Amino acid sequence: MSRFIDTKIDYQLVNSICCQTQEVRIMTEEWRHDYNHQRPHKSSGYLSPVKYAEQRSEAESKAKQDQLNGDRKPPKIEGSRLAEDREKDHLIIENLITN
């Protein structure tokens, strides 16, 4: 009888841990989705990482096309500090080249 009780307790413990692990996975996935798709980030101009990546990809594609057409400006992503810093760097480099 003691062995049966021990086995039953072990089974319930393992089953409980498995359920908790699954719950943690679900909660983690929900958090990760919210963090990457919904939550705005200050460093990206208050865009979500996914939205920022989409805009960056579009801006880089446009910049490549512009380079093929002879325009040498860096890609700009509206509202992001990275874009502002890159624009300043571009102006500094242009000044160095022309002077």
* Per-position pLDDT tens, the chain of length 99: 566 666 766 777 777 776 778 888 888 999 999 988 998 888 888 888 899 889 888 888 888 887 777 766 665 666 556 556 666 666 777 767 766
| Enclosing domain of residue 77 | 42-99
> Are 95 and 52 contained in the same domain?
yes
Q: How many domains does the chain have?
A: 2
Handedness of CA 5, 10, 13, 16 (dihedral sign): negative
pTM of the model: 0.48
Measured between alpha carbons, how far is 63 from 57 in angstroms, rounded to an integer? 10
Q: Where are the alpha helices (DSSP H) in 1-99?
A: 2-33, 49-68, 81-98
List Cβ neighbours of 37 (8 Å cut-off, separation of 6 or more).
Answer: 48, 50
List Cβ neighbours of 83 (8 Å cut-off, separation of 6 or more).
Answer: 45, 59, 75, 76, 77
> Are 56 and 84 contained in the same domain?
yes
